[in-house]
Chains A and B, each alone.
Chain A
Amino acid sequence: MNAGGLIVWCARQGASTCGLSKGGSMTKKTESTLVFWIFLAPVLFAFIMVMVIPFLLGSYYAFTNWTSSARADNELRFVGLQNFINSLRDPAFLYSFGITFVYTILNMIAINVVAFVLALLVTGNLRFKNVYRVGFFVPNLIGGIILGYIWQFIFNNAIPSLGTLIPSLNFLADPNNLMLSKNTTALAAMIIVGTWQYAGYIMMIYVAAIENIPQELIEAAKIDGATPWIRLKAITIPLCAQAFTVTMFLTLVNSFKQFDVNVSLTSGGPSTMLMGQPILGTELLALNIYNTAFISNKLSEAQARAFVFFLVLAIISIIQVYVNKRREIEL
């Protein structure tokens, strides 16, 4: 190993350029403490400004009648759980919760299945496997907001046009059959876009895991006469357990927080009725929180919803990691 030697050499070079400029009367201990705080200061300042203070303020505002912050003289009053009660009585919020769960679960399954299949394909003996890998990965580099507009064009223009070109598919040309015009198909459309966007990234994680599997193991199984299917079940999948924990977590959290594609692809639409109230049919939680604040102008209620959003996200993440860790050990 040459690397160790190299590091030591670098250190020597570094040290010799440091010179022998011993500081004045400062003791080692105070110097260390001082350096510790100076080194932490920039990050700590930014972190406190944009995370800690807003988080504390926000957790408090959720229990108050906080309205527009422009009116600073407006008296802030503690209202207990009123914002939470109002939210739970709002059909739009309950509906948002429901479809966010549905979307998250289906999206997670779709992304992981597609990504795993792609990973198996591109780790095989293919001529252009590097081209495929890059191609599957590219959508992930483009922001969700832009991807959403591309797919809006596909669902609203390209697919109906396919219907006019091919007679046997002419049902696609019927405006009533546009995917984005109905709740269920619009949600499916969001899952298609989500999968297209994210599968390539998740695939790369699986690829890394699959390529780490010792080749001897597979050779031995082959000699023992294991079919590809058995090799997949008995070797590949168990040895990718750690990757599954990572990918499940990533896709879960990212699907649950989905906002960009929701805004640009459906803007929450189409409208529908629930409990006698018109609501948006594909409004995921993140968009619901945003709309509550900026369209309905109910800032404190939006803050309460964000608080619930945070709690659910934290609980799901903890359970998910716990369950997966246990499964990893069992396998």
Chain B
Amino acid sequence: MKTSRPRSPGAIATEIVTAIIFLLFMFPFLLVFINSAKTSFEVTQYPLALPTRWGNLVDNIVNIWTSESVRYPSSLLSSTIITAVSLVLINLFSAMAGWALVRTKTKTSSFIFFLFVASMVIPFQIVMFPLLSWFRTVTVATGVRLLRTYQGIILSYIGFGAPLSIFMFHGFIKSIPLELEEAATIDGCHRHQIFFKIIFPILKPIQATVLVLNGIWIWNDYLLPLLVLGKGNDVMTIPLAVSNFAGAFVKQWDLILTAILMAMVPVIIFFLFAQKYIVKGMVAGAIK
């Protein structure tokens, strides 16, 4: 709102107060940025000063990029694969399940829906230890490796992400008029065709919410990858890589902060592009 109307002193004071809070909120990010461009001596001696040589930033980034313990390129790739594949599958499978549960009114379907809703109260802590031993049992019985592999962690994300996603799809699909599907049936559509050609495209707004909520969770998740993928594995996510490096030995803050910077940059770039959807999605997800 650009008005040339003179602003009251109260409005100016509010603007200043908000701006100061805003700068305080941004300060940690600024610190990460300036200290990523310092040598390890500079970081510990003058953490609040501006770096003497910005070229150090490039050196530090190269250092982390080639570091054996962070393995940044492969971690970034693994994080991307895990997040992308999990999201596509959670989105599709939950939409399918949500539709099946809304449009089939039987005792079984109500019971299954109730199970999904009830499971949302269950904390990860109560299932995490048995999950590991169960995955090991499955591998012994079938030969399919679930621990330390992509398929294991993606399966986990589908299982843990589905209840909330189904719940949201369920709520949305209930509001779609049934006449739409009846019309399609009369035109000769099969049940599955009704879903893929009519319902799924209508679900776009709620799909955005589901993707955003699950995407932020999966990308940043630490405990599940720590348990299912483990440490020192070929498949490693960004949060695991950073914590391996930052938690390991004597604190090399210059490199740790560079690693943190490099972990944050992809998220922030993505956010700036999809800002509208992300904020909307997260608020909608909370209110539902």
CB of A57 closer than 8 Å to a CB of B:
yes
Chain A residues whose C-beta falls within 8 Å of the C-beta of B286 in the assembled complex:
201, 205, 246-247, 250
> Interface stretch among A7-15, A85-93, A175-183, A323-331?
A7-15
Q: How many angstroms between the C-alpha atoms of A69 and B242 in the bound complex?
A: 29
Query: Closest CB of chain A to B204's CB: distance in Å?
Result: 11
Chain B residues whose C-beta falls within 8 Å of the C-beta of A143 in the assembled complex:
219-222, 239
Is the Cβ of A61 less than 8 Å from the Cβ of B32? no
A1-35 contact mask (Cβ, 8 Å, vs B): 1 or 0: 00000011011101111111111000000011101
Q: Which of A44, A124, A138, A208 contacts B283 (CB 8 A)?
A: A208
CB of B83 closer than 8 Å to a CB of A:
no
Tell me the nearest residue of chain A to B158, going by C-beta: A46
Chain A residues whose C-beta falls within 8 Å of the C-beta of B46 in the assembled complex:
161
A278-311 contact mask (Cβ, 8 Å, vs B): 1 or 0: 0000000010011001000001001100110110
Is the Cβ of B243 less than 8 Å from the Cβ of A14? no
Q: How many angstroms between the C-alpha atoms of A90 and B217 in the bound complex?
A: 33
Query: Closest CB of chain B to A91's CB: distance in Å?
Result: 20
Is the Cβ of A260 less than 8 Å from the Cβ of B223? yes
CB of B54 closer than 8 Å to a CB of A:
no
A49-80 contact mask (Cβ, 8 Å, vs B): 1 or 0: 11111110111010000000110100000000
B61-99 contact mask (Cβ, 8 Å, vs A): 1 or 0: 000000000000000000000000000010001101101
Is the Cβ of B180 less than 8 Å from the Cβ of A146? no
List which A221-240 residues lie within 8 A (CB) of chain B.
none
Q: How many angstroms between the C-alpha atoms of A51 and B17 in the bound complex?
A: 47
Is the Cβ of A18 less than 8 Å from the Cβ of B191? no
Q: Which of A58, A136, A208 contacts B126 (CB 8 A)?
A: A58
B32-58 contact mask (Cβ, 8 Å, vs A): 1 or 0: 100100000001101110000000000
Q: How many angstroms between the C-alpha atoms of A121 and B282 in the bound complex?
A: 20
CB of A169 closer than 8 Å to a CB of B:
no
Is the Cβ of B31 less than 8 Å from the Cβ of A7? no
Tell me the nearest residue of chain A to B108, going by C-beta: A36
Is the Cβ of A149 less than 8 Å from the Cβ of B22? no
Chain A residues whose C-beta falls within 8 Å of the C-beta of B253 in the assembled complex:
153, 157
Query: Closest CB of chain A to B187's CB: distance in Å?
Result: 4
Give the number of residue pairs across the A-B interface with Cβ within 8 Å. 304
Query: Closest CB of chain A to B216's CB: distance in Å?
Result: 6
Query: Closest CB of chain A to B80's CB: distance in Å?
Result: 15
Is the Cβ of A31 less than 8 Å from the Cβ of B122? no
Is the Cβ of B47 less than 8 Å from the Cβ of A40? no
Tell me the nearest residue of chain A to B45, going by C-beta: A161
Tell me the nearest residue of chain B to A129, going by C-beta: B18
Chain A residues whose C-beta falls within 8 Å of the C-beta of B184 in the assembled complex:
11, 14-15, 18
Query: Closest CB of chain B to A116's CB: distance in Å?
Result: 13
Q: Which of A44, A61, A72, A201 contacts B130 (CB 8 A)?
A: A61
Is the Cβ of A51 less than 8 Å from the Cβ of B239? no
CB of B110 closer than 8 Å to a CB of A:
no
A127-157 contact mask (Cβ, 8 Å, vs B): 1 or 0: 1110111111111111111100111011001
CB of B250 closer than 8 Å to a CB of A:
no
Query: Closest CB of chain B to A122's CB: distance in Å?
Result: 7
**Contact of A132 with B18 at beta-carbon distance under 8 Å, contacts A14-B184, A19-B188 already known:** yes
List which B144-175 residues lie within 8 A (CB) of chain A.
155-156, 158-160, 162-163, 166
Chain A residues whose C-beta falls within 8 Å of the C-beta of B99 in the assembled complex:
39
CB of B271 closer than 8 Å to a CB of A:
yes
CB of A319 closer than 8 Å to a CB of B:
no
Count of chain B residues near A, Cβ 8 A: 105
CB of A82 closer than 8 Å to a CB of B:
no
CB of A204 closer than 8 Å to a CB of B:
yes
Is the Cβ of B131 less than 8 Å from the Cβ of A18? no
Is the Cβ of A303 less than 8 Å from the Cβ of B129? yes
Chain A residues whose C-beta falls within 8 Å of the C-beta of B94 in the assembled complex:
43
Q: Which of A23, A69, A136, A299 contacts B190 (CB 8 A)?
A: A23
Is the Cβ of B130 less than 8 Å from the Cβ of A51? no
**Contact of A314 with B121 at beta-carbon distance under 8 Å, contacts A36-B100, A161-B46, A263-B243 already known:** yes
Q: List 30 A-B contacts (CB under 8 A).
A: A10-B201, A14-B193, A15-B183, A15-B188, A16-B187, A33-B104, A39-B192, A47-B158, A47-B163, A49-B138, A50-B159, A50-B160, A52-B115, A118-B21, A125-B7, A125-B11, A131-B22, A132-B19, A134-B275, A136-B22, A138-B25, A146-B260, A149-B242, A153-B32, A153-B35, A157-B43, A246-B286, A299-B129, A306-B125, A310-B125
Mark B residues whose CB is within 8 Å of A.
1, 7, 11, 14-15, 17-19, 21-22, 25-26, 28-29, 31-32, 35, 43-44, 46-48, 89, 93-94, 96-97, 99-101, 104, 109, 112, 115-116, 119, 121-134, 136-138, 140, 155-156, 158-160, 162-163, 166, 180, 183-184, 187-195, 197-198, 201-202, 216, 219-223, 239, 242-243, 246-247, 253, 256-257, 260, 263-264, 267-268, 271, 275, 278-279, 282-283, 286-287
In the complex, the 6 A-B pairs of residues with the closest C-beta atoms, listed nearest first: A143-B220, A69-B133, A50-B159, A15-B187, A14-B197, A39-B100
Q: Given known contacts A17-B197, A49-B159, A133-B279, what 18 new A-B pairs fall within 8 Å (CB)?
A: A14-B184, A18-B187, A21-B190, A32-B191, A35-B100, A47-B162, A47-B163, A54-B128, A55-B119, A61-B130, A122-B18, A124-B11, A136-B22, A138-B25, A149-B256, A204-B283, A246-B287, A257-B124
